[in-house]
Structure 1
Amino acid sequence: MSYFNDRIFGVLMIVLAVAYGWAASQFPVPFGGTEVVGPETFPHLLAVVLAISSLYLVVRPDPDNAWPWSRTGIELIIALVVLALYAMSLEPLGFIVSTALAVGTLCWRMGARPVKAYVTGLVAGTVVFLIFNFALDLSLPLGLLSLLEVG
């Protein structure tokens, strides 16, 4: 029966990877359309990694895994809800605020003190935003921070 659990999960994750990759291919083409690295590149890479990892679960399932319906299972459900809310909040709140809240909440759920967890989230969101915006020249949504722009 435990082989069956991994295979079901693997197939569901392959479906998710395909849907995620397809959604990324629907992003608007940047002006000029000749860039090798565009807004869909990172999501496509994530979709490929997810698909390969999921295929491994289908082909080589773990013989003695059990669905974690204890505290661990509840924490996994909380993590999924946080990630779904993160995806929905990216545009309205912006990358930095959404990332700070998501990373902070996940760190807190893993045992960090709330202040340290949310400071970690804020630092992580800011650093990744700066890397994407200035080093990679890929824009991330500003959301609430766009209200601070002058001009």
Structure 2
Amino acid sequence: MSYFNDRFFGILLIVLAVAYGWAASQFPVPFGGSEVVGPETFPHLLAVVLGVSSLYLLVRPDPDHSWPWSRTGIELIIALVVLALYAAALEPLGFIISTTLAVGTLCWRMGARPVKAYVTGAVAGVVVFLIFDFALDLPLPLGLLSFLEVG
């Protein structure tokens, strides 16, 4: 029965990888359209890594694996809900605010004090936004902070 858990989870993750890769391919093409690295590059890379990892779960399941139906299982479900809400909030709230909320909530659930957790989320959101927007020239949605757009 324990082989079934990993294989079932592997199938779910393959479905997620395909859906994630397909969603990334739906991003609008930047002006000019001839860029090698576009906004879909990183999500496509993540989809491939997730797909390969999922195949590993199907081919080599852990014989001693069992579902964590204790507090750990509840925390995993909370993490999945937070990540789903994060994906839904990216466009309307923007990258910085949604990342602050998601990373802050996950840090808090892992035991950090709430203020430190959300400060960590805010720093992570701003730093990653600056890296993507300025260093990689890959724009991320500003959402509610769209008044900060230059030009």
Into which bin does the TM-score normalised by the smaller protein fall?
Answer: over 0.9
How far the C-alpha of 1:149 sits from its partner, in A, is: 5.0
Q: Give the counterpart letter for 1:105 in structure 2.
A: T
- The residue aligned with 1:6 is 6
Alignment of 1:95-134 (within 5 A): 95-134=95-134
How far the C-alpha of 1:27 sits from its partner, in A, is: 1.2
| Number of equivalenced pairs | 151
- The residue aligned with 2:83 is 83
Query: C-alpha distance in 2, partners of 1:34/1:58?
Result: 37
Query: C-alpha distance in 2, partners of 1:4/1:148?
Result: 50
Query: C-alpha distance in 1, partners of 2:148/2:6?
Result: 47
Which consecutive segments of 4 or more residues in structure 1 shift more than 3 A? 147-151
Gapped runs of 5+ residues in structure 2? none
Gapped runs of 5+ residues in structure 1? none
Q: Give the counterpart letter for 2:54 in structure 1.
A: S
How far the C-alpha of 1:32 sits from its partner, in A, is: 1.2
What is the TM-score normalised by the length of structure 2?
A: 0.96
How far the C-alpha of 1:147 sits from its partner, in A, is: 3.3
Query: C-alpha distance in 1, partners of 2:149/2:52?
Result: 42
How far the C-alpha of 1:148 sits from its partner, in A, is: 4.7
- The residue aligned with 2:30 is 30
Once the two structures are superposed, residues 88-108 of structure 1 have per-residue CA deviations (whole angstroms, 9 ceiling, x without a partner) of 111111110100000000000
Query: C-alpha distance in 1, partners of 2:150/2:19?
Result: 38
Query: C-alpha distance in 1, partners of 2:52/2:16?
Result: 12
- The residue aligned with 1:135 is 135
- The residue aligned with 1:50 is 50
Query: C-alpha distance in 1, partners of 2:150/2:34?
Result: 31
How far the C-alpha of 1:150 sits from its partner, in A, is: 7.7
Query: C-alpha distance in 2, partners of 1:35/1:150?
Result: 22
Q: Give the counterpart letter for 1:60 in structure 2.
A: R
What is the TM-score normalised by the length of structure 1?
A: 0.96
How far the C-alpha of 1:142 sits from its partner, in A, is: 0.5
Q: Give the counterpart letter for 1:31 in structure 2.
A: F
RMSD: 1.2
Query: C-alpha distance in 2, partners of 1:150/1:47?
Result: 32
How far the C-alpha of 1:44 sits from its partner, in A, is: 0.2
Secondary structure of residue in 2 paired with 1:139: coil
